Structure formats: structure tokens, C-alpha cells
Amino acid sequence: MSKGDPLADWRSNPFFVLEISTEASRAEVERAGQKLLALLAVGRTAAEHYQTPLGPATRDADKVRQALAALRDPNERVLHELWANIAPSGAGNEDENVVERWEAAASAVGWIKKWPG
């Protein structure tokens, strides 16, 4: 995990890197990965960036290869599917107060007691 970005691992989820659905077949995974590798090889700048629910991220050929390798392993794929599916919708929206949302969630499960004030 990057010290500068605590969400870097989540942004690097293979499904986000390859810009595919968690329901993609093995063939679709391979096709998406090979397409991105080809675009990166010819220097297409559009292939260097991708969107995640947590904001924009950059990719290179190594990141695409790592994503392909992770999704080829059924056990790893399941974990990445879970993390990709629980990505907060709109988390990349800078207008939302993320701290308030986390505090509200923690309070809802009893981790933080809200004091009247």
C-alpha cells in the first residue's frame, strides 16, 4: 500500500484496471487485458488512465499484467470481486464529506457514541 494514498490498493483492483465487470468471463478478461497491453504498447495516452469509484488512476503495462495474473487465479478473483462490488458509489465525488459518512457508519454499528452537543 502506498503511504501517500491509503486507497491505492483499492484503486488498483484488477476489475478497475481492466475496466471490466465482475461478471466478465475468462475470455472477456483476457480480451480486455490484451487490448490494453496493445494500446499501451503503441503509446495511446487514453489507455494510461482509468476511472474508479474512488477517483481516477493511472495504469501501465505492468499493472495490466498484474491484473490479468490476479484474475486468472480463482481464489484471488473472488476477493477482488468482493472489493470491486463494495466500492462506494460516488466516492470520487469531492463534494461529499467522506469523514462524516465514515463517522455515521461507525456510529450506526455502535463503534462511536455521538454526544449531544
Q: What is the pLDDT of residue 5?
A: 74
Report domain extents, the chain: 8-108
**Predicted confidence (pLDDT) per residue in 59-68, tens digit:** 999 999 999 9
Q: Is the separation of the CB atoms in 28 and 35 below 8 Å?
A: no
Q: Is the pLDDT of residue 10 over 70?
A: yes
Instruction: Please report, in angstroms and rounded to a whole number, the separation of the first and last CA atoms in the chain.
Output: 37
CB neighbours of residue 103 within 10 Å: 14
Q: What is the pLDDT of residue 41?
A: 95
Claim: this prediction has a pTM higher than 0.75: no
Topology at the third CATH level for domain 8-108: Helix Hairpins (1.10.287)
Which residues make Cβ contacts (< 8 Å) with residue 41, sequence separation at least 6?
61
Q: What is the pLDDT of residue 86?
A: 78
Q: What is the pLDDT of residue 116?
A: 55
Q: Is the pLDDT of residue 114 over 60?
A: no
Q: How confident is residue 98, by pLDDT bands cut at 50, 70 and 90?
A: low
CA 47 to each of CA 41, 52, 98, 106, 108: distance values in angstroms, whole numbers, following the listed order: 10, 14, 29, 38, 40
